[in-house]
């Protein structure tokens, strides 16, 4: 999976560098305009503050910011924490996120079990018939 992310990340970085500095961004967009992009140190501080306030701080993820791109590494026992970490990095100002968080086998097994329960419920749901 990581091998697919690297070319995509390189593309995103190349595109962001090719854009003119005065490219306007919609006011509804969460991506800051190129001229107001946060520094790596500012992104790092904002992300550390977000992790400190969150419930996922127990996972003790490590982060690295370079060129506005955040790399997250670590391990979690809750499958949703991986996605939450990515969203937090983007909300902290990252232009892209490389999420290398690994999910424990116990969390994978639990998610697979929950998925099979949902599929089973969907298969036995009664069909409403038009009269």
Residue 44 to residue 61: CA distance in whole angstroms: 13
Closest CA to 37 of 58, 67, 73: 67
Residue 6 lies in a domain: no
- Domains in the chain, number: 1
Model pTM?
0.60
Residue 27 lies in a domain: no
Beta-strand pair 96-103/69-76: parallel
Per residue of the chain (131 residues), give pLDDT as tens.
Answer: 555 656 666 666 665 666 555 444 444 445 544 446 899 999 999 999 999 999 888 778 999 999 999 999 999 999 899 999 999 999 999 999 999 999 999 988 888 888 877 665 555 656 667 66
Instruction: Give the domain extent around 86.
Output: 37-124
Residue 2 lies in a domain: no
Residue 62 to residue 113: CA distance in whole angstroms: 29
Say which CATH number the domain at 75 has: 3.30.1340.30
CA distance to 11, 69, 79, 86, per residue, from 50 (Å): 28, 17, 19, 12
Residue 129 lies in a domain: no
In this structure, what DSSP letter does residue 93 have? Answer: T
Residue 4 lies in a domain: no
Residue 28 lies in a domain: no
CA atoms within 13 A on the CB side of 74: 20
Task: Count Cβ atoms below 10 Å from residue 88 Cβ, excluding itself.
Answer: 23
């Amino acid at each position: 999976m990581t091998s697919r992310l690297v070319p995509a990340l390189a593309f995103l970085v190349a595109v962001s560098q090719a854009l003119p500095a005065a490219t306007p961004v919609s006011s509804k967009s969460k991506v800051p305009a190129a001229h107001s992009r946060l520094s790596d140190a500012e992104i790092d501080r904002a992300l550390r503050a977000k992790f400190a306030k969150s419930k996922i701080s127990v996972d003790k993820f490590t982060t690295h910011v370079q060129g506005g791109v955040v790399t997250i590494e670590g391990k979690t026992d809750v499958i949703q924490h991986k996605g939450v970490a990515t969203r937090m990095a983007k909300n902290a100002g990252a232009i892209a996120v490389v999420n290398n968080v690994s999910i424990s086998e116990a969390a994978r097994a639990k998610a697979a079990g929950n998925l099979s329960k949902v599929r089973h419920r969907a298969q036995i749901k009664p069909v409403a018939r038009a009269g």
